[in-house]
Chain A
Amino acid sequence: NNKLQNSELFTLTYGALVAQLLKDYENVEDVNKQLERMGYNMGIRLIEDFLARTGSGRCYDFRDTAEKIQTGFKIFLGITPTITNWSAAGDEFSLCFETNPLTEFVELPDHCLNLKYCNILIGVLRGACEMVQMEIACWFVQDQLKNDNVTELRVKFIKRLEDAIPAGED
């Protein structure tokens, strides 16, 4: 019961933020960018919670990463997206959401068709993966707010990031 209200506080707060951004920026693209940037800042902090709670180590491969991202959604949002549509090379997969707490009370008005309402998730995933030396790209392929049956988030592996050598120690 408590949990429900907890995620409602998050959902409604996120909604208020999106509304404020739409008021502050003329261009919807700028809102999308701002949401992703905030998500990125959250992701680089959330990864520490994730690692501390799950005690998980480094990912063996990208499939392992996919499962850990799925676990992350379970822990933080209480949902389990399905992992599908692997690319032949194994460097791309989709997360499909049947329900999405972020959009629980949301309907997009007509003038917001270009708004990527859940763009914060993209930032979160990017930020979190970057902290474990992995560069990824992600984007929405389908969106329930735009009358698709599911919300589909595509995740693509770009490259491993090398440990940076501190300045003056090379």
Chain B
Amino acid sequence: MRQQLIDTKVSSHTSGEADECLFEYLHAEIVNYALSKSCKNKEGEEELSGLEWMGFSVGYRIIERLTREWNRFKDELDMIKFICTDFWSSLYHKQIDNLRTNHHGVYVLQDNSFRLLNKVGTNSNKQYLQESPRLLAFTCGLLRGSLANLGIISTVNAEISTLPSCKFHVQVQRI
């Protein structure tokens, strides 16, 4: 009985989710480290720019790997769509659930069950809501870095209203 259990468990993890928790634990350590180095700013918010910066440098590199065999993008919206679909599913195992734009450089990407939040709480549980933004700073940087390497200069903010859903606001800077 036990032997059988071992076989099915191991084989189901050769499919690609094998190292999923590895990234999550590493991310948790990076968040801890960044928090230990940071102090609160004037508004009493945690200073998360170190995390954001690490995310940026990862995003800047990873987008090159992910777009390697991809056709040239038509326009900005095309790139954002790529981010919402292929990019998101290869990093976070699902696509963005909702994309909104005002067609003037503001995009809102909504993920209803964000991978780095979905073990933290459900919408009935607000216990960790206050600490949750620190789990998004890295991903904000990741988005900004990826877009930067595609030629889009932007600022990216995240917003959480109910766990584990979150929204990323991308504001493209026009020159």
Do A and B form a real pair? yes
Interchain CB contact under 8 A, A77 and B26: no
Contacts of B74 in A (CB 8 A): none
Contacts of B58 in A (CB 8 A): 9, 12-13, 15-16
The answer, yes or no, to whether A54 is at the interface (CB within 8 Å) is yes
Report the interface size for chain B: residues with CB under 8 A from the other chain.
Answer: 36
Interchain CB contact under 8 A, A78 and B23: no
Q: How far is the CA of A105 from the CA of B32 in the complex (A)?
A: 25
The answer, yes or no, to whether B66 is at the interface (CB within 8 Å) is yes
Contacts of B39 in A (CB 8 A): none
**Listed A/B pairs (25) with beta-carbon separation below 8 Å:** A2-B93, A3-B15, A3-B18, A3-B19, A5-B62, A5-B65, A5-B66, A8-B65, A9-B62, A9-B91, A10-B23, A10-B26, A12-B58, A12-B61, A13-B30, A15-B58, A16-B55, A17-B26, A17-B54, A24-B37, A42-B29, A53-B13, A75-B18, A76-B19, A76-B22
Which B residues lie at the A interface, using CB under 8 A?
2, 5-6, 9-10, 13, 15-23, 25-27, 29-30, 32-33, 37, 50, 53-55, 57-58, 61-62, 65-66, 90-91, 93
